[in-house]
Structure 1
Amino acid sequence: MNGSFGPATTAAEVLEGVDLTGRRAIVTGGGSGIGLETARVLAAAGAEVTIAVRNTDVAGFRVEPLDLADQESVARFVRRWTGPLHILVNNAGVMATPSTRTREGWELQFATNHLGHFALAVGLHPALAAAGGARVVSVSSVGHINGDIDFDDPNFLRRPYDPWQAYSQSKTANVLFAVEAAKRWAPDRIAVNALNPGRIASTGLGRHLAAPPASFDPAGATGVTVKDIPQGAATSVLLAASPVVEGVTGRYFEDCQEAGPHQPGVRRGVAGYALDPERAARLWELSLTLIGQAGA
């Protein structure tokens, strides 16, 4: 690992001198914020980048429509894709939304942040395998430390809806996806890793927010800094394309380094349950069942 990379490293600095000519990449939610910066830096290094977004009015890139909360939209995107895929950055997400359900009856954050990306990655698996040495990046959050997955009621059908519990659960799912995909897809030479981009100023992710609960307040927490967008995209870009992490898979990163275990009272690190292989396998099977029902 490059010890010179850290919280202040920018995405452009991560890929300085890296040539991605001939590589094809997809960035979900690449129309703004750290997704747009991720796409911009990958393209600047020579990659052919497709931005997958609901609002396709984005200049300067190949743009394809994708609504992660709509399984039919995901299936259409997968059907349209042809040829190999070297980089998939599952970046799009929603946070702390009001109680909302998809047409399948799924809670919106779980449906968008996890199930949509899960269906996308599984659908694109043949393209990733065809690339030889592909990478999948799952953008999670330090918010995952606030909640494991409720496997008995992931869609809040029986328990009272809480927007922050729903968000935390979906972000834990992003990490568990990386753990299980890394295991299943290792024979195809597909590396899959998750990350916390950090606390980013000036993105649209918080548009649904009232005040977060005290447990989400990073004030005074050791090592927590507010990043700008180029810094916020750095860890995504590292995992997507840097030779520094060649061969690394099934891990969780923050500040361009592999994260250590979460310590109580500090908004850093990875929760043990998010890396648990039994939970990861269980989530995979649950997700296959849910998207299979959606497509039935």
Structure 2
Amino acid sequence: MTANTAPRFTAASTAAEVVAGIDLTGKRAVVTGAASGIGVETARALASAGAEVTLAVRDRAAGERTAADITATTGNTAVRVAPLDLADQVSVAAFTANWDDPLHLLVNNAAVMACPLTRTPEGWELQFATNHLGHFALTKGLHRHLAAAGGARVVSVSSSSHHRSPVVFDDVHYTEREYQAWDAYAQSKSANVLFGVSATTRWAADGITVNALMPGSISTNLQRHVDLEELARARAAAGVTEVRRKTPEQGAATSVYVATAPELEGLGGKYFEDCAEAGPFVPGANRGVADHALDPEAADRLWEVSLRTLAG
């Protein structure tokens, strides 16, 4: 499917509508950050289609409550919970070491947004460490299980905020420049898209595709660090005059679409919004994908930087 093909769904479509008629029986899925927000609705939709779903969460108690709710609403008892802190590489390594099955769907949903400057024990800026490096290490650590599934899909939840900044390779972790919370978030979301570009190329022979998406504007726990007045000013400065709000069920729709739509089989390295492949970035419209997020040279550079960073 391309940006010029008429979409089957719209911005108002829900995750349940997107997955209707799709049978995921026998498929295994992992959804990070699945104890709140659109992660819950993503996991619920996949479970409703028959998938065995693992909720990868920092708060195990919250994950267990979510799993019980999903089972109650879908009738699917194969909803698991596993601890995962993406900012902690020991936690990421433990998750991948404990996974011992083919993995058909990996939804890299968890994120930190616009938080005050915080560093991991390695000195990495928290948003980049969580949103990109954590998911990079997780996906790479699960590579053989994804390859074993045959036709596995990886879904990275990005954001229209990626328009604001490319990955600034000269100072990714804000050791020299002044920290700007929204710019740090933006470069981590650009990294989510670039990861898909490089991973799809590198893993094509394994049948693995990686795509990124913009879920829409949704009120969730992700905004816990967000100053709403500051956000309004940032949008105004970017020329964004209208923001269409979505429910969590609508916000999860594009994640579920990218994970399950038959017409996307074998398609990777793309960016989606409103359940369709996005066109080029349109300034002021808060839509489309920026050129810097699809640049193959930047994607390859990010891959190598990520490997070196994780190797210490």
When normalised by structure 1's length, the TM-score is: 0.95
Structure 1 portions without partners, runs of 5+? none
Structure 2 portions without partners, runs of 5+? 69-78
Instruction: Kindly indicate whether the alpha-carbon contact (under 8 Å) linking 1:110 and 1:166 is maintained by their aligned counterparts in 2.
Output: yes
Alpha-carbon spacing, 1:221–1:150, altered in 2? closer, same or farther (3 Å):
closer
Instruction: Kindly indicate whether the alpha-carbon contact (under 8 Å) linking 2:7 and 2:275 is maintained by their aligned counterparts in 1.
Output: no
Instruction: Kindly indicate whether the alpha-carbon contact (under 8 Å) linking 2:154 and 2:210 is maintained by their aligned counterparts in 1.
Output: yes
3-state SS in 2 of match to 1:195: strand
Question: 2: CA distance between counterparts of 1:67 and 1:9?
Answer: 31
How many residues were matched structurally? Answer: 292
How far has the Cα of 1:263 moved from its partner? 1.6
3-state SS in 1 of match to 2:302: helix
How far has the Cα of 1:222 moved from its partner? 7.0
The code of the aligned residue for 2:58 comes to R
Partner of 1:13: 17
Q: Give matches, 1:272-287, under 5 Å.
A: 272-287=291-306
Alpha-carbon spacing, 1:220–1:280, altered in 2? closer, same or farther (3 Å):
closer
Question: 2: CA distance between counterparts of 1:22 and 1:222?
Answer: 45
Given candidates 41, 49, 62, the residue that maps to 2:45 is 41
Q: Give matches, 1:199-238, under 5 Å.
A: 199-201=217-219, 203-210=220-227, 211-212=230-231, 214-217=233-236, 221=240, 224-238=243-257
3-state SS in 1 of match to 2:231: coil
3-state SS in 2 of match to 1:167: helix
| 2:84 is the counterpart of 1:80 | no
Please list the CA deviations of residues 9-44 of structure 1 after superposition, one character each: whole Å capped at 9, or x if unmatched: 111111111000000000000001100100011001
Please list the CA deviations of residues 262-285 of structure 1 after superposition, one character each: whole Å capped at 9, or x if unmatched: 022210100000000000000000
The code of the aligned residue for 1:23 comes to K
Partner of 1:191: 209
Please list the CA deviations of residues 39-68 of structure 1 after superposition, one character each: whole Å capped at 9, or x if unmatched: 011001000000001001123231000000
The code of the aligned residue for 1:208 comes to H
Given candidates 106, 109, 114, the residue that maps to 1:96 is 114
Question: 2: CA distance between counterparts of 1:260 and 1:218?
Answer: 22
How far has the Cα of 1:214 moved from its partner? 2.6
Partner of 1:241: 260
The code of the aligned residue for 2:135 comes to H
| 2:275 is the counterpart of 1:252 | no
Given candidates 147, 164, 180, the residue that maps to 2:182 is 164
Instruction: Kindly indicate whether the alpha-carbon contact (under 8 Å) linking 1:218 and 1:224 is maintained by their aligned counterparts in 2.
Output: no
Question: 2: CA distance between counterparts of 1:150 and 1:242?
Answer: 33
Greater mean alpha carbon deviation, residues 54-63 or residues 209-218: 209-218
Question: 2: CA distance between counterparts of 1:45 and 1:27?
Answer: 15
Alpha-carbon spacing, 1:68–1:23, altered in 2? closer, same or farther (3 Å):
same
Please list the CA deviations of residues 165-213 of structure 1 after superposition, one character each: whole Å capped at 9, or x if unmatched: 1000100000000110111111001111000001113x10110112226
Greater mean alpha carbon deviation, residues 15-24 or residues 223-232: 223-232
Identity %: 61
